């Protein structure tokens, strides 16, 4: 057990977060929430006309839903992210310029982060570590090339014994 309380919870959350496109889903849901809040704002700028009034609430609600689905079902992330981008761009027309551009940008960036996330990718090795590994491999190769092996010594002895026999 760890020394500090909550340490296991923090590491469990970190492991859960590492296995999914966390920030992409979070930003997409946050963008949808922001657009929903601007719909409820008591500003004179807010417009609701006919079916666009329904679409103004439906699109950001779907953005929030897609953000949550990305977090809890990352296996379908490509479909969710493409749909999230389309919904985010659709809010430009239906929801006060996409929540005054803030929700639209959050949704597009979150969807793009989700689309670009790769699940089983090995962590990237730093340039310093790659150079160190290459240097060690070169040194090992030089050492093995400089030292004659037992097979090489045996071959040289046999060649030395054969030469006098051939010249006679």
* Percent of the chain whose predicted confidence (pLDDT) is above 70: 76
Angle between helix axes 77-94 and 102-116 (nearest 10 degrees) is: 160
Other residues' Cβ atoms within 10 Å of the Cβ of residue 83:
18
Are 55 and 94 spatial neighbours (Cβ–Cβ below 8 Å)? yes
Q: For the segment 9-45, what is each residue's pLDDT rounded down to a tens digit?
A: 988 888 888 889 999 999 999 999 999 888 877 666 6
The Cα–Cα gap between 57 and 126 comes to: 46
- How much is the pLDDT for 81? 96
98 pLDDT band, cuts 50/70/90, is confident
Q: Is 133 a residue whose pLDDT tops 80?
A: yes
- How much is the pLDDT for 119? 82
Domain parsing of the chain, residue ranges: 11-116, 127-167
Question: By C-alpha distance, which of 12, 35, 39, 27 is closest to 116?
Answer: 27
- How much is the pLDDT for 136? 92
Q: For the segment 43-77, what is each residue's pLDDT rounded down to a tens digit?
A: 666 555 555 578 888 999 999 999 999 999 999 99
Cα 27 from chain centroid?
14
Q: For the segment 143-168, what is each residue's pLDDT rounded down to a tens digit?
A: 887 665 556 666 666 666 655 555 54
Q: What is the mean pLDDT of the chain?
A: 82
What sign for the dihedral angle of Cα 65, 66, 67, 70?
positive
Contacts of 52 (CB under 8 A, 6+ apart): 93, 94
């Amino acid at each position: 057990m760890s020394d500090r309380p909550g340490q296991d919870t923090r590491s469990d959350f970190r492991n859960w977060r590492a296995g999914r496109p966390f920030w992409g889903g979070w930003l997409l849901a946050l963008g949808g929430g922001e657009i929903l809040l601007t719909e409820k704002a008591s500003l004179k700028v807010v417009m609701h006309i006919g079916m666009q009034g329904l679409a103004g609430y439906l699109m950001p609600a779907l953005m929030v839903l897609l953000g949550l689905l990305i977090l809890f079902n990352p296996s379908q992330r490509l479909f969710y992210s493409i749909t999230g981008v389309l919904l985010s761009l659709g809010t430009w027309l239906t929801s006060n310029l996409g929540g005054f551009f803030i929700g639209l940008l959050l949704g597009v960036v979150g969807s793009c982060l989700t689309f670009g996330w790769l699940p089983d990718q090995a962590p990237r090795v730093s340039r310093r570590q790659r150079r160190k590994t290459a240097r060690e491999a070169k040194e090992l190769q030089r050492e093995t090339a400089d030292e004659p092996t037992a097979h090489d010594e045996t071959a040289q002895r046999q060649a030395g014994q054969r030469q006098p026999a051939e010249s006679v």
